Amino acid sequence: MGEQGLDDPHVIAQLHRAQGGDAHAQEMMADLFYWGARGVPRDHGAARHWFMQAAEQGRVPSLIAVAGMFLKGEGGPADNMTAVRLYQEAQEQGSPAASNGLGYAYFYGQGGLP
């Protein structure tokens, strides 16, 4: 039960909501693809896409998740400057996790940071 992947009616419904612009559904699809959960194949490119869609709508968990993906080069090329920008956006919304990500970037001098 719950391992039907992209044939699962619940996953299909979630995907339709995500495609319709529902930021929470986009975040849930990103999680499914990132971890390869519920029988959905692990696909970091798809995860990065859906996290970015939700991040563009201001979803803090997605801002942090996609920033980490950019930092590590998961699902596409690494882009430290974009990672830092996304962490800063999440930090402006009061996210301690974003502060942690920025601390990491500062510690290692990533994204143009000293």
Average pLDDT estimate for 42-66: 97
CB atoms within 10 A of CB 89: 17
Report the interhelical angle of 44-55 vs 60-72 (nearest 10°). Answer: 140
Q: Which domains does the chain have, with CATH numbers?
A: 5-108 (1.25.40.10)
CA atoms within 13 A on the CB side of 45: 2
CA–CA separation, 72 and 26 (whole Å): 21
Interval 87-107 mean pLDDT: 92
pLDDT interval class at 106 (50, 70, 90): confident
